[in-house]
Amino acid sequence: MQPKPVETTSDSVRVGILDAAEARFRIYGLNKTTMAEIAHDMDMSASNLYRYFKNKQDIAAACACRCIDTQTDLLRGVVRTPGLSAAEKLERCALEMLRYTWETAHDQPRINELVNHVILEHRDMVHHKVQESCSLLAEVLAQGNESGEFEVADVVKTAETVHAALKMFHVPIFMSLYAHEVLMLRARDVVALLISGLRGRDHEPSQ
């Protein structure tokens, strides 16, 4: 009477394959990692990998998905931290996200390249990630409304607005264009200006 083992065996193999693949992708990148190598790490034949994944692209996509989830988890961690004001959470969200994006872009260029590549054929993954981020931001805005810090009419729409204004700090391309310090200061400033706006009485989302 185990609790929901469902497909324990098959699933754990899948996870194992992803772990092995990710480890190699990190070091050698997607193109320089062969199915044979991943299979060898798992003590199986290359052909057997196809029992768990449709093809190599699918393994890459699943890896990218896990990376993106890590980002969302990070945000969730901040948003669900007890004892922080909404304004503090908003700032931490922006700065944590920036830190993570920066570090990934610099310390794990291979994985970053992998994610960028996968995203090209899975636009929906980006939209899903953005939506999750916005949901979390909406939570913060709602908290701000309750505590009286903010006065936001439409938390969902405004979350999207805030997310758009912070886009620059989420996107790897900009990481190589500016120094880390500059980005941190800039992010702080943008958040401060946004918070100032969220307090305002007269902000009306269009339509």
Partner DNA sequence: ATACTGAATATTTTATTGAATATTCACTGC
Partner DNA sequence: GCAGTGAATATTCAATAAAATATTCAGTAT
Q: Which does residue 57 touch among its own copies, DNA, none (CB within 5 to 8 A, set by kind)? A: DNA
Nearer to DNA, 44 or 95 (CB): 44
Ramachandran angles phi, psi of 151, nearest 5°? -135, 80
- Contact positions with DNA (CB under 7 A) in 15-34: 31-34
Is the Cβ–Cβ distance between 119 and 170 less than 8 Å?
Answer: no
Residue 70 is a binding residue for DNA (CB under 7 A): no
Contacts of its own copies in 99-128 (CB under 8 A) = 123, 126
Q: Which residues contact 65 (CB under 8 A, 6 or more apart)?
A: 125
The shares of helix, strand and coil residues in the chain, as percent rounded to the nearest 5, are 75, 0, 25
- In the stretch 29-68, what mask flags binding to DNA with x, by CB under 7 A? --xxxxxx--x---xxxxxx-xx--xxxx-----------
Does the protein bind DNA through residue 12 (CB under 7 A)?
Answer: no
Please identify, using beta-carbon distances, which residue of 41 and 96 lies nearer to DNA.
41
Q: Is 32 helix (H, G, I), strand (E, B) or coil?
A: coil
Burial call 130-152: b when 16+ CB within 10 Å, e when fewer? eebbbebbbbbbbbbbeeebbeb
Of 5-13, 20-28, 136-144, 150-158, the window that binds DNA (rule: CB under 7 A) is: 5-13
Nearer to its own copies, 23 or 171 (CB): 171
Quote the distance between the C-alpha of residue 5 and its chain's center. 28
Residues with Cβ within 8 Å of residue 34, at least 6 apart in sequence: 46
177 binds its own copies (CB under 8 A): yes
Residue 16 Cβ vs DNA, minimum distance, rounded to whole Å: 10
Rounded to whole angstroms, how far apart are CA atoms 134 and 170?
A: 13
- Binds 198, which of its own copies, DNA, none (CB < 5 to 8 A, cut-off by type)? its own copies
DSSP H or E segment with residue 105: helix 86-107
- Positions in the binding site for DNA (CB under 7 A): 9-10, 13, 31-36, 39, 43-48, 50-51, 54-57
- Positions in the binding site for its own copies (CB under 8 A): 123, 126, 157-158, 160-162, 164-168, 171, 173-174, 177, 185-186, 188-190, 192-200, 202-207
